Amino acid sequence: MKNKAGLTLLLSASLLVLSTVPAGAVQERADKPVLTFPVISDVHVDAAKKDSQRKFTEALEDLNRVNPNADALVINGDLTGGSARDYTRLKELMMSTPHPQKTFATIGNHEFYSAWLNAKGNWSPNSFPNKETEAASIGRFLSFTGEKKVYYEEEIKGYPFIFLGSEQYRQTNPDNMEDAYLSKEQLNWLEQSLARHGQESGKPIFVFLHQPLPGTVAGTSVASNKRPIVQHEELRSILSKYPQVIFFSGHTHWDLRQPNTLVRDKFTMVNSSSVERPWTSDGQGGEKLKDAKESEGLYVEVYEDRVSIQGRDFYAKKWIPEAQFKVPVRK
């Protein structure tokens, strides 16, 4: 399922300054990016739902048209509904659709959702966890990715990619809800990894976790996302030591035209919307679904002097004007 360096699915800064600026405001000194990769999330491939499968393949096809030679692809959580059938279908879709050979994934809350299904595969919250264990859910994810743990790191063209992931769901503690649980072991590992990479001239460090930090990017102010990470204070404290960190998250599904798609607070945080179904503000402090045809994600280009992050509308096959960001890198 993968080469030793990462999750090769199937087919095989300088400190960042303390602000971000709109696209076009940074002097274009480098003609070509040194690293390119899309970031998508909340794909929700369901073996029984054709629309979820179609949207996923259409997103991959559109990204391949944008750049057939991208260096990597990141799927940042909620790949499936967690069942073996869903993973099998996801594998089949990826085998038949062009995408970067180096593909990496993080675990989302929906990777644990087999616990909500009874023996007939029907939604059955009254019988939760339906004999499903967290270890079984995590095991299916790891079998798919080829990784040993839900957290790991890779290096692509000299740039560190750090992947984090929840190690518990509601079986261990119902209070975990849909939030990411990061063990002390994982947080200590993250600190050590950042300390090591932070000595490398401050070049951008890309960190991925399905759930966002509370009160940051779009969608984190609504009630359902008040505490997306159980250990959010510890994680924020660690990441805040490294202004060159760019932290990508999904989970909220909030569309990329919303304010706070990208937030800068000691480090950079970016929301990636959803391939399967974006949500948006209802204008009254809540949220609502967008049109069923909508599908979104990010495309990242890394230059010597900046990181370009562009929102992509996979349905219209166009860039999203409100989601064009450049994060300058100071040498």
- Give the model confidence (pLDDT) of 4-35 as tens digits: 344 444 444 333 333 444 444 334 444 799 99
Between these two residues, 295 and 3, which has the higher pLDDT value? 295
CA dist., res. 9 & res. 264, Å (int): 32
Query: What confidence tens digit (pLDDT) does each residue in 256-269 have?
Result: 999 999 999 999 99
pTM: 0.90
pLDDT of residue 14: 34
Residue 248 pLDDT more than 90? yes
Question: Which 8-state DSSP code applies to residue 174?
Answer: G
Give residue 91's pLDDT: 97
Q: Residue 52 has what pLDDT?
A: 97
- Tell me the mean pLDDT in the region 311-326: 98
**More confident of the two residues 225 and 179:** 179
Please, which residues bridge with residue 103 across strands? 73
Q: Look up residue 101 and give its DSSP letter.
A: S
How far, in Å, CA of 312 to CA of 95, rounded? 23
Mean pLDDT across the stretch 219-227? Answer: 83
Does the N-terminal peptide bond of residue 100 adopt cis geometry, omega within 30 degrees of 0? no
**pLDDT (mean) for 195-213:** 91
pLDDT band, residue 112 (cuts 50/70/90): very high
Q: Listing from the earlier edge strand, what are the strands of the sheet with 152-156?
A: 152-156, 159-163, 205-208, 245-249, 268-271, 262-264
Residue 300 has pLDDT above 50, yes or no: yes
- Pairing verdict, β 268-271 and 73-76: unpaired
Share of residues in the chain with pLDDT > 70 (%): 90
Q: What are the C-alpha distances in Å from 288 to residues 99, 262, 277?
A: 31, 20, 11
Is residue 87 within 8 Å of 111, Cβ to Cβ? Answer: no
* CA 44-48-50 angle, 5° bins: 75
pLDDT tens digits, residue range 136-180? 999 999 999 999 999 999 999 999 999 999 999 999 999 999 999
Q: What is the pLDDT of residue 284?
A: 86
Average the pLDDT over 107-126 and give the result: 96
Query: What three-state secondary structure class fits 191?
Result: helix
What angle (nearest 5°) sits at the alpha carbon of residue 120, between those of residues 115 and 122? 60
* pLDDT digits 0-9 by tens, 53-89: 999 999 999 999 999 999 999 999 999 999 999 999 9
Domain ranges of the chain: 21-328
Pairing of strands 296-302, 287-289: unpaired
Q: Domain 21-328: what homologous superfamily?
A: Metallo-dependent phosphatases (3.60.21.10)
Rounded to the nearest integer, the mean pLDDT of the chain is 91
